[in-house]
Homo-oligomer: A and B are copies of this chain.
Amino acid sequence: MTAMDDWANDLTKLWDFCWQKLGRGAADAKSPLHRPVLATVGLGGGAEARTLVLRGASPSARTLELHTDTASTKVSELRATPLASLLFWDPKSDLQLRARVHVQIDEDTDGLWSRLSDGARSNYGGTPPTGAPILSPDAYDKTPQPDRLTRLVCHLQSLDVVHLGPEHRRALYARDADFTGQWLAP
């Protein structure tokens, strides 16, 4: 049993610690927060989940940014139901972040394409589009298409933080309480 981390017993410190982790997650491909899970409501009414790369985190705007292919099913899902969740897990600090977000689909990506590596570009575009049935496993072409790149700007509605330290801690930061924070039973 080790002592509780200082940041885990104070709502303001915990909030700041989470944004520090999210900033690192966007900047550092080796961070465990670099690949969150995006959960959406599927077109069939159930929940869907997949892993994405975190591309940006702004504590002042309270936004998280992802990039995706306009032709992917998740874009259709988000047009129908923009309320989604991003789940992060940091094993080093035993911290789970659940960000409930309202997702804005921003197809104005001028200037963004030129900053992408060739490897990153191959994620956007291709024929047939991702998820389409094909007759053999390699019957697809992955030619990059700049007009298929889309930014998902995720506006934070609430952040639910669970710390599985020596004693469990849970806090909720909600937009309608101006993100001041509230302890919850873990």
Contacts and interface: CB of A to CB of B under 8 A. Distances in A.
B184 A50 contact: no
A146 interface: no
Interface string A61-100: 0000000000000000000010111110100000010101
Nearest to A45: B83
A47 B85 contact: yes
Given A9-B137, A46-B85, A96 B186 contact: no
Interface stretch (A18-26, A108-116, A124-132): A124-132
A138 B87 CA distance: 24
Interface SS of chain A: helix, strand, loop or mixed? strand
A47 B49 CA distance: 9
A98 B74 CA distance: 14
A85 B48 contact: yes
A137 B49 CA distance: 30
Interface string A175-186: 000000011111
A46 B83 contact: yes
A134 interface: yes
Contacts of A96: 50-51
Contacts of A44: 83
Contacts of A136: 183
Contacts of A183: 133-137, 139
B47 A84 contact: yes
A184 B142 CA distance: 13
A74 to B, nearest CB: 11
16 contacts: A8-B137, A39-B49, A47-B81, A48-B100, A49-B98, A50-B87, A50-B98, A130-B184, A131-B170, A132-B184, A133-B183, A133-B184, A134-B183, A136-B183, A140-B185, A140-B186
